[in-house]
Amino acid sequence: MKMIDRKKFLLSTLGLAGLPFIAKSTILKKLTFINKPENFPVVIATWDNQRAVETATKELIAGKTALDAVEAGARVPESDPDDTSVGYGGMPDRDGNVTLDASIMDHLGNAGSVTFLQHIKHPVSVARLVMEKTPHVMLSGEGALRFALEHGFKKENLLTDKAKERWKKWKEEQHYNPVNSNNHDTIGILAIDKQGNVAGACSTSGLAFKMNGRVGDSPIIGAGMYVDNEVGGACATGVGEYVMKTLGSFLIVELMRYGLSPLDACKHAIQRIVEKIPEARNNQVGYLALNKKGEFGAFSIRPVFPYTVYQHGENKKFESESELK
Ligand code: SD4
């Protein structure tokens, strides 16, 4: 292939040919990120996950790794009965089963995940063990449960009375409404530790009243969450089907690798969804990204997608910009 054709081909493969906000000549040049240690440690998480961010921050300040921090952070909503999208208290599927998905990645590119896991309150910790103790990346269903029990996790009932009541009410109407402003809270969390290393995690009970057996984006490495320690990380919340079809978190990290800011990378990934999947406009996806320098950004299909950040000694709440106003 001639040089010029090859470049055109690469640009269109990346879907960047029409990007208005970056000079094409710079797109294929990988950036080398110069760390800005004054920006560390930093933690960023989806939605109003303030307690999770505080917990992760404490770990980092105590000198723990970014991996320890994101795991500790994700465990907070996992054990919170009032968080109806994660772990204990999560909304069940349409048959009344709470089924959980989670993933985790460290700065060495190691990854672990669990899908369709039942009866275990902390799927993120099981995902970490899959990463550390097995030759695999993902364990699912019965096998994931057996693996968790073998490693000392307790079998518990995760369906709270409150979740059961909502499920019973839903059964009367059977109206399937994937993600609106009242039924979210999946945690995606990214952190950079004092050494400048990046890690990420994601944990969810998935879409409320989903079909039995449905698995979303959160445990799919590159969809619900992705980390590359050379570049940074990204994570997603919202309708997982749209995120999976466009491999959003991987796309965002790759766009940052080639020069986009975290905000522009998230914006591009949201625009990809809206362009390719017209009905996505009626629903929500929110992306968060953090680059190696400690800069962060977020973008969503619809307003409002809040997120929480710890940096420079402060825990702050932000709202993302959105494609639809
Ligand atoms: C899923 N992305 O399973 C998750 C749902 C979610 O807040 O983010 N809810 O599709």
Q: Is 90 in the pocket of ligand 1 (CB under 6 A)?
A: no
Q: Is 185 in the pocket of ligand 1 (CB under 6 A)?
A: yes
DSSP label at residue 300: E
Question: In sequence order, which residues have a C-beta less than 8 Å from that of residue 265 and are 6 or more positions away?
Answer: 234, 251, 252, 253, 255, 256, 289, 297
Token pair listed for 71 = 């795991």
Whose Cα sits closest to atom 3 in ligand 1? Answer: 206
pLDDT along the chain (325 residues), means of 10: 41 46 54 81 96 97 97 98 94 96 98 98 98 98 98 97 94 67 80 97 96 97 98 97 98 97 98 96 96 97 95 95 95
Ligand 1 centroid–CA 68 distance in Å is 23
Q: Which domains does the chain have, with CATH numbers?
A: 24-322 (3.60.20.30)
Q: Is 217 in the pocket of ligand 1 (CB under 6 A)?
A: yes
Ligand 1 centroid–CA 311 distance in Å is 26
Ligand 1 centroid–CA 76 distance in Å is 17
Strand segments (E) across 2-124: 42-46, 100-105, 111-117
CA angle 191, 83, 166 (to 5 degrees): 150
Query: What would the pLDDT profile of 177-210 be if each residue is shown by its tens digit?
Result: 655 445 678 999 999 999 999 999 999 999 999 9
Query: What would the pLDDT profile of 55-104 be if each residue is shown by its tens digit?
Result: 999 999 999 999 999 999 999 999 999 999 999 999 999 999 999 999 99
Q: What is the pTM of this model?
A: 0.91
Please confirm, yes or no, whether 186 is among the known catalytic residues: yes
Please pick, among 46, 55, 65, 186, the residue that the annotation labels catalytic: 186
Token pair listed for 178 = 């994937």
Q: Is 237 in the pocket of ligand 1 (CB under 6 A)?
A: yes
